[in-house]
Amino acid sequence: MAGHVFTKSALDSILTNVIGKTLGSVDSKNVFARTILHPKITGIAGDVIEQSVLGYPPDNDQEPDLIVDGRKTELKTTGIRTPKKDKNHVFEAKEPMTITAVSPKTITSTTFEDSKFWHKLKEMLLVYYHYDSDTTVKASEYANFYIKGYEFHQFSNEEKEILKNDWLQVYNFIKEINENAPNPELEYPKISSELKAQLMLIDTAPKWPHAPRFRLKRAAVSTIVQKYFGEQFEILKQSFSSYDDLDKQLAIYTAKYYNKTISQLITELNIPINLNNKKDVSKSISEQIVTRMFGASSKKMNKIKLFSELGLTVKTITQTKEGARTEDTKLFRIDFDELLNQNTNFEDSAMFNNFNEKQFLFIIFEEPNSKSQLLKNRFIGFKRFTFKDDFIEKEVKRTWHDTKNLIHKNELKEIEVLDKKGMKILNKNGIIRTSINFPKSKTHTIFIRGTGANSAQKPLILNDIKMYNQDLWIKGVILVDLLQRIDYIK
């Protein structure tokens, strides 16, 4: 039996002793010395835990690292960080968790239970360190990061079924290629892009021609982290092991609630509300409608365990009776620390990860007219959406590079906003309205817009310019076009 042998009690003693200490202070084998000649070396945190804390040399075997009380156990040293936007979470995962190689030439010769993939996930020892930096750091600086905790992790039976179905999606896709494609090598690059919309907890990366590896999505890892640090998630009464299962349930809700107004849905789903000064509801009611359809009491999808693991984000589309819609949609808060770091690549950025990994559930309403209350909008149905690779490569990457260039070439400017007559516009507090020359909707499909209620309070400072927190948006007309290519879930 391969692996480094430990008892669980011995590991508890060893790891409990290093919690609260920095990686540098526990580096008894001087692992960090390698960073002098190799400042960009990867995996240094894991090397320290393996060599200096647990006392064994690293290996690249596809079998689990440890034998713990006779059970094969995979060790994963995982970076966690403090969320910048969602202050409800203490920590989130720094990045997805790489599991093992996809191996398209051999995967079809095994079963899920016997696969390297499941062997790596079945029993896990997760060691958490706090990646306490807003920017990418050199390998040597990992010495300053604190070890925050560890856990022996097992997936629930429901999670195992999801992982099994995800793995089978990849298995069946490769099997089809190997059996029917004249040249399978030419088809392997589609593994990541073609399956992205159907995989719940995992993805495959990097893209071909680099050998792809199975990964747990960052949202799935974040949920594991957050549970460890004491956060509570609501558990749905129903279980869904695939997006097909989820879509079937959404189709049932569509049939049951189709054409009902938001006012009627609020009554039927027993949703407590507070009307605003216009005697109407806010747009956030849509997310609560979805959670109540699933029988949950939580107002937010990310407080429900399954949806938190999936990273499923609810967005509302309100269209006219003719099916038109032009209102722009806010997507993600921008991490400017990455943009400030000249060495951060687009493919390694949170911006890329958000567009590449996130799934959107659009709940679509129809408005009687442009001036009607939200309460009178009627429910039409659901569409589930992911951004295609070519869209990310063209539109999102363009916004990333243009914004990065503005910052690093010191071309970022605050411009006074003028009305049609060329006069300065004053906000209600008397302060002149200004705008930052970030990519705008006139020139970019993915553009940047600030979010704030008071122009006297601008918390973000960039290139010595005070500004609102900034978000990425997508032009409404483009989003409508993308969604029109997708059928309603039914």
**Contact assessment for residue 355 and residue 387, using Cβ atoms and an 8 Å cutoff:** yes
Domains 4-159+214-228 and 243-389 share a fold: yes
Dihedral sign, Cα of residue 291, residue 292, residue 294, residue 298:
positive
What is the pLDDT confidence band of residue 369, given thresholds at 50, 70 and 90? confident
Inform me whether the pLDDT recorded for 406 exceeds 50. Answer: yes
**Contact assessment for residue 377 and residue 395, using Cβ atoms and an 8 Å cutoff:** no
For residue 3, give both structure tokens.
Answer: 């692996």
Inform me whether the pLDDT recorded for 46 exceeds 80. Answer: yes
For residue 213, give both structure tokens.
Answer: 């590896």
Q: What percent of the chain has pLDDT over 90?
A: 70
Distance CA 192, CA 205 (A): 7
- For the ranges 131-135, 212-216, 258-262, 454-458, the lowest mean pLDDT is seen at 454-458
pTM of the full structure: 0.91
Inform me whether the pLDDT recorded for 277 exceeds 80. Answer: no
Inform me whether the pLDDT recorded for 135 exceeds 50. Answer: yes
**Phi-psi category of 146—alpha, beta or left, where left has phi over 0 and alpha has psi -120 to 50?**
beta
pLDDT at res. 1: 45
pLDDT at res. 87: 64
Q: Is 460 buried (19+), middle (13-18) or exposed (0-12) by CB count in 10 A?
A: middle
Distance CA 475, CA 164 (A): 37
Instruction: Work out the average pLDDT over 396-415.
Output: 95
- For the ranges 34-48, 73-87, 231-245, the lowest mean pLDDT is seen at 73-87
DSSP secondary structure, 363-425, as one string? EEEE-SSTTS-GGG-EEEEEEEE---HHHIIIIIHHHHHHHHHHHHTT---EEE-B-TTSPBP
Instruction: Work out the average pLDDT over 398-403.
Output: 96
Q: Which residue has the higher pLDDT, 8 or 344?
A: 8
Query: What is the CATH T-level fold of the domain 4-159+214-228, as seen in this structure?
Result: ECO RV Endonuclease; Chain A (3.40.600)
> 3-state class of 188 per DSSP?
coil
Inform me whether the pLDDT recorded for 280 exceeds 80. Answer: yes
**Contact assessment for residue 418 and residue 425, using Cβ atoms and an 8 Å cutoff:** yes
288-335: pLDDT as tens digits:
999 999 999 999 999 999 999 999 999 998 888 776 766 899 999 898
pLDDT at res. 326: 65
| Residue among 408, 388, 397, 386 at smallest CA distance from 446 | 397
Name the average pLDDT for the chain.
Answer: 91
DSSP secondary structure, 313-371, as one string? EEEEEEE-TTS-----EEEEE--HHHHH-TT--GGGSHHHHHHHH-EEEEEEEE-SSTT
Q: H or E segment at 92?
A: strand 92-93
The amino acid at 487:
D
Distances (CA, A) of 405 to 396, 464, 472: 14, 16, 17
| Residues belonging to the chain | 490
Separation of CA 329 from chain center: 18
pLDDT at res. 475: 94
Q: H or E segment at 190?
A: helix 190-195
Inform me whether the pLDDT recorded for 152 exceeds 50. Answer: yes
pLDDT at res. 83: 87
Taking the domains of the chain in order of start, what are their residue ranges?
A: 4-159+214-228, 243-389, 396-476
- For the ranges 47-61, 447-461, 475-489, the lowest mean pLDDT is seen at 447-461
| Residue among 454, 457, 452, 451 at smallest CA distance from 473 | 451
> 3-state class of 234 per DSSP?
strand
161-186: pLDDT as tens digits:
999 999 999 999 999 999 999 999 88
CATH no., domain 243-389: 3.40.600.10
Instruction: Work out the average pLDDT over 471-480.
Output: 93
pLDDT at res. 205: 86
In the numeric block, the tokens 């300053």 are attached to 144
Instruction: Work out the average pLDDT over 470-475.
Output: 95
Q: Is 137 buried (19+), middle (13-18) or exposed (0-12) by CB count in 10 A?
A: middle
